[in-house]
Amino acid sequence: MGCLKPRITHLENKCGHLVINVHFVTLLTLLYIFAVDANHNNEGFLPWPLEILKHDRNHVCETEECKAAATQLLQSLNMSVDPCEDFYEFACGGWVERHPVLPTESHRNQFDIVMEKVDLELKEILEEAEEPGEPSPVVAAKKAYQACMDTDYLESEGLDPLLDIIGSIGDWPMASDSWKEENFDWQNAIAQLNRHLGLSPLVSLIVYLDRKNSTGSVITIDQTSLVLPRSMLVDPYTYGRQLEAYRRWIVGSAMEVVKARNASVPATRISVDAFEVIEFEIELAHVTTPSEKRRNAYRMYNPMTLQELQQMTDSVQISSSHAKIHWQQYFEAVFAGVDVTLSPQERVVVKEVQYLSDLVTLLGSTPLRVIANYIQWRLVMTLGKDTTQKLRELAFNFDRVYSGTKEKLPLWRECVFVTSSMLSFAVGYSYVSRFFDIEAKKSALQMVENIRAQFSSSVSDVNWMDPATRQVAQDKAEAMKELIGYPDWYANKSALEVYYNGVSVGRSHMRNVVSLKTLMMRRILSKLRVPKDRTEWYTSPDVVNAYYNPQTNSITFPAGILQPPFFSKGRPEALNYGSIGVVIGHEITHGFDDMGRQSDRYGNLAQWWSRATIDTYLEKAQCFIQQYSMYRVPELDELLHTEVMMNGITTQGENMADNGGMRQAFLAYKKYVADNGPEQRLPGLQQFSPQQLFFLGFATVWCESTTKESLLQEVLSDPHSPQRLRVKGTLANSEDFAHAWNCPAGSPMNPRNKCLIW
Ligand SMILES: [Zn+2]
C-alpha cells in the first residue's frame, strides 16, 4: 500500500521519494504564511517585530521537524485576534477555517485526524494477506474484517442471524404476528443480552474491581444505560426532533424485521408500539440518577449478599408478578459457561439502590409486551448495523438528526472500528509492531517521570493541605502505575494466542460479532475469582486517547496518542510539554480530582484526607464549578431556543484535570529548561518565545470544528467541557499564561478571579 499519510515521521522509511515534494510544499507554505504574518504585525497586539530582532538565526531550529511544526502552527493561528482577548480563536482560528467538519463526521479535531491516520494504518494491516507465522488472533482479525466488508454475503444472509437471536429470547412483539406473552421471560432475555453482547437494557451487571478491596473483583450491579442522553429523555418537548428521529429508527427497523420474516403486522400497530417503547425509556430515564449525582463513590458502594439483594427488591410492593426479579436465576444465566459457582452468600455491590426499587415498581406497572418490545429493540438497534444495507441506512438516518452528519462513513472505516474493538489486542499487536516508534515509549516514560516529580514537588508547596494529607498525596502520585504504548505481555507472542484462546471467525459478519463479544464477556465474567492486576490494560494500544483508572491508580497512554501533534521528537520540547505533557499532567491530576481523591494509592476507596483539608478542597472545587457554569455555549441557543450554559458540576473533574495538568506540565517544562538550557525558536515564528510555544502547543491540541448537534451531545452528556472552553477556562486561571503573553489584568484571558487546586 505504500505511504498512507505524508507525515514527516513516516516519510523516511515508508515513501522516501515523497520527501522532496513535501519539503518543497513546506517551504512554499512557510514563505506564504510568513508574508501573512508580516501584514498582521502592524496590528500592534504584541511588540513582535522588536522581539524578532533580539533573536539571531542560531536561536532558530531548522530541523525538518521544526519546519513541520512551524508550518502546522502558522496554518492554525489567526493573528488578527488578540491572544489576550480570545486565545482559542488566536491559536485555532486558522485551523478551524481549514478544517471544516467532513460530511461523514459530526466534528473534526486533532484527535479525529490522528484517528483517521491510525484507521488507514489498521486498514493496511487488515487488508493484507495472511503472513506465515502470524499469530492466529491477527489472522482472525483479518478474516473478521473481510467478513464485515463482504456486502454481497451480508445481503444474501439478510436478517436471518438476527432473527435467530430475536427468536431465541422470546421474539419481538412489535415485529411478530404470533407473539405470546407466556414465551417471553424478560430476565432471561436481558441475561442473554448481557452474556453475549454486554448489553444492559434494564440492569447493568459487570464484574469489576472491588472498590474497597484491592485484592479482587466483585459483581457490580448498576442502573441501565440509555440510548439517548438522560437529559433528552426527561425533556421530550425540547428534544422532540431527536425523539421523532429515534421513533422512525425503531419503526423502520421493526418493519424490516416484519418483511424479512414475511409476517403480517399493521403499520399502525408498529407505530403505537414504538411510541410505547420510547415512553418506557423516558420512564426509565426518570428513575436513573443523573450523572451530576454520581460523583460520590461512597454513596455508590453498597455491598450486600445475593440473598440480601433478593430481600431488598422483594420488599417493594408490586402489582404484577412479572416485576419480581429472581436474582440467583438471573446471575446464573449471565454466568452460564463461566467456571464460577454463585451461592446466596455471593457478595455483590449495588451502585444505585433506589434505582432497583424504582425499576421493580416501574416494571410492575408496565405491560410485558412493552418490556419485551424495549429489550428486543435494544438488541436490534445494537446488531442492526452489522446486517443489511437497509438497517445501516436507518441507523444513519437517526444519526443525521442526532449528530448532524451528512453522509455515512465509508464501510471500511466501520469495519476497521468493529474489528479493532472486538479483537483489540490482536489488531493493536500488529499496529504496534508495524507503526509504533519504540523511542516514543522511552520519551513518554521520561516525561511521565518529569511531570509526576513536578506534581509531587507542587504538592509539597500547597499550603491548604495539612502535612499528613500532603504526604499521602505524594505517596499516591508516586504509587501511580504508568502503562505506556502497549502491554508488556506483547513481548511474548504466545500470550496473544492465550488471550484469544477459543476465538473463531467465519463468513457471517453478524455471527462473528456475537461470538467475539461473547468471548469478550466471558473473559470479563471469569475474572470474578482472579486476583487484581494493576498493570492490566483495558484499552487497545491503537487508541488515540489517554486514561486514568481510579480503581487501580494507574495512567495509560496508548501508542495511538504518542505521535504528532501530541508528541514528536526533534521539535522544541515546549510543544511536547504543551501537548502530550499536558495530557500526562491531566491524567495524573485525575487521581486528585473530586472523584479520584476518594481512593488511595492502591485504588481503594479510603478517606485519607483530614476534615479541614476536605473543606478547603471543596471550596476550591466550588470555584471551578462556578467558573465553568458561567460559560455560555451560544452556538446552541438557536437549536434549543434558549440561552445554553455549561454544566460546571458534571465537568468539574475534567476541568480540574485540565487545569492541574496544564499547570504541572508548564512547571515541568520550566524545570526542563533550567536543566537543559533555553530552547530554540521555530522558523517563521521567531516572535514567539518557547514559553509562548508551550501555550500554543496546548491550545492547538484542542482546535475543533463541530456540528451543533455534536456540540449539544457534548454539553448534555460529556464529562469534558467543549474544546474551546477547555482552552479558555484553563488559561484564564493561569498566571503563567498571563505572564508569558503579557495579558493585562482584567482582560478576558487574564481575569482577576482565578481558580486553583493543583
Ligand atoms: Zn480526563
The DSSP secondary structure of 599-651, one letter per residue, reads B-TTS-B---S-HHHHHHHHHHHHHHHHHHHT-B-GGGHHHHTS--B--TTTT
- Indicate whether 475 belongs to any domain: yes
Question: Please, which residues have CB within 8 angstroms of residue 570's CB and are 6 or more apart in sequence?
Answer: 63, 64, 65, 66
Ligand 1 centroid distance, CA of 488 (Å):
24
Ligand 1 centroid distance, CA of 652 (Å):
10
Residue-wise pLDDT tens digits, 308-342:
999 999 999 988 889 999 999 999 999 999 999 99
Backbone φ, ψ for residue 404 (5° rounding): 80, 15
Task: Please tell me whether residues 307 and 446 are part of one structural domain.
Answer: no
Give the gyration radius of the chain's Cα atoms: 27
- Indicate whether 266 belongs to any domain: yes
Q: What percent of the chain stands above pLDDT 90?
A: 85
Ion ligand 1: residues, CB < 5 A: 654, 657
The three grid cell numbers given for residue 348, joined into one nine-digit string: 455483590
Domain boundary among 352, 386, 420: 386
pLDDT value, residue 533? 84
Mean predicted confidence (pLDDT) in 274-287 = 98
Residue-wise pLDDT tens digits, 125-165:
999 999 998 999 999 999 999 999 999 999 999 999 999 99
Predicted TM-score of the model (pTM):
0.89
Q: What percent of the chain stands above pLDDT 70?
A: 92
- Indicate whether 106 belongs to any domain: no
- Taken in order 599, 203, 505, 519, the sign of the CA dihedral is positive
Q: Write the CATH number for 274.
A: 1.10.1380.10
pLDDT value, residue 23? 29
Task: Please tell me whether residues 360 and 441 are part of one structural domain.
Answer: no
Residue-wise pLDDT tens digits, 401-460:
999 999 999 999 999 999 999 999 999 999 999 999 988 999 999 999 999 999 999 988
Ligand 1 centroid distance, CA of 577 (Å):
17
518 pLDDT exceeds 70?
yes
The three grid cell numbers given for residue 620, joined into one nine-digit string: 476550591
Task: Please tell me whether residues 462 and 377 are part of one structural domain.
Answer: no
- Indicate whether 88 belongs to any domain: yes
Give the residue from 656, 350, 677, 616 showing the smallest Cα distance to 669: 677
Question: Of all helices (H) and strands (E), which one includes residue 415?
Answer: helix 411-422
Give the residue from 753, 582, 547 showing the smallest Cα distance to 660: 582
Q: Report the alpha-carbon distance of residue 189 to residue 171 in Å, rounded.
A: 10
383 pLDDT exceeds 70?
yes
Ligand 1 centroid distance, CA of 729 (Å):
15
H-state helical runs in 466-548 = 467-479, 493-499, 509-525
- Indicate whether 359 belongs to any domain: yes
Task: Please tell me whether residues 368 and 446 are part of one structural domain.
Answer: no
Residue-wise pLDDT tens digits, 81-103:
999 999 999 999 999 999 999 99
Q: Report the alpha-carbon distance of residue 308 to residue 326 in Å, rounded.
A: 12
Q: Report the alpha-carbon distance of residue 184 to residue 672 in Å, rounded.
A: 65
Tell me: cis bond preceding 565? Omega within 30 of 0 counts. Answer: yes
- Indicate whether 464 belongs to any domain: yes
- The C-alpha angle with vertex 622 and arms to 617 and 623, in degrees rounded to 5, equals 100
The catalytic residues are 587, 658
Report the relative pairing of strands 203-209 and 217-223 from DSSP bridges: antiparallel
The total number of structural domains that make up the chain = 2
Range with the poorest average pLDDT among 277-286, 453-462, 573-582, 661-670: 453-462
Q: Report the alpha-carbon distance of residue 303 to residue 181 in Å, rounded.
A: 35
Task: Please tell me whether residues 446 and 364 are part of one structural domain.
Answer: no
The three grid cell numbers given for residue 42, joined into one nine-digit string: 502592524
pLDDT value, residue 30? 29
Range with the poorest average pLDDT among 387-391, 428-432, 445-449, 606-610: 606-610
Task: Please tell me whether residues 460 and 348 are part of one structural domain.
Answer: no
Task: Please tell me whether residues 372 and 479 are part of one structural domain.
Answer: no
- Indicate whether 749 belongs to any domain: no
Ligand 1 centroid distance, CA of 714 (Å):
14
pLDDT band of residue 33 (cuts 50, 70, 90) is very low
Ligand 1 centroid distance, CA of 585 (Å):
10
C-beta separation of 241 from 404 below 8 A: no
Ligand 1 centroid distance, CA of 149 (Å):
34
What angle in degrees, to the nearest 10, is found between the helix axes of 723-732 and 690-701? 150
Cβ neighbours, 10 Å, residue 57: 10
pLDDT value, residue 26? 30
C-beta separation of 694 from 666 below 8 A: yes
- Indicate whether 282 belongs to any domain: yes
Q: How far is CA 565 from CA 107, 668, 678, 705, in A?
A: 18, 19, 22, 17
Ligand 1 centroid distance, CA of 594 (Å):
12
Q: How far is CA 22 from CA 5, 99, 304, 509, 579, in A?
A: 11, 20, 63, 40, 24
Task: Please tell me whether residues 380 and 453 are part of one structural domain.
Answer: no
- The C-alpha angle with vertex 60 and arms to 57 and 61, in degrees rounded to 5, equals 135
Residue-wise pLDDT tens digits, 226-279:
999 999 999 999 999 999 999 999 999 999 999 999 999 999 999 999 999 999
Which letter does DSSP use for residue 578 in this model? Answer: I
Q: Which domain holds residue 80?
A: 64-100+436-487+535-741
C-beta separation of 85 from 399 below 8 A: no
55 or 192, which is more confident?
A: 192
Q: Report the alpha-carbon distance of residue 632 to residue 363 in Å, rounded.
A: 39
Q: Write the CATH number for 457.
A: 3.40.390.10
The residues pairing with 109 across neighbouring beta strands, listed in sequence order, are 704
DSSP track, 125-184: HHHSPP-TT--HHHHHHHHHHHHHH-HHHHHHHTTHHHHHHHHHTT--GGG-SS--GGG-
Q: How far is CA 57 from CA 26, 65, 435, in A?
A: 19, 17, 35
* Largest distance between two CA atoms of the chain: 85
Task: Please tell me whether residues 96 and 215 are part of one structural domain.
Answer: no
39 pLDDT exceeds 60?
no
Task: Please tell me whether residues 187 and 82 are part of one structural domain.
Answer: no
Cβ neighbours, 10 Å, residue 491: 8
- What is the chain's length? 758
The three grid cell numbers given for residue 5, joined into one nine-digit string: 499519510
Task: Please tell me whether residues 548 and 457 are part of one structural domain.
Answer: yes
28 pLDDT exceeds 80?
no
530 pLDDT exceeds 60?
yes
Task: Please tell me whether residues 68 and 196 are part of one structural domain.
Answer: no
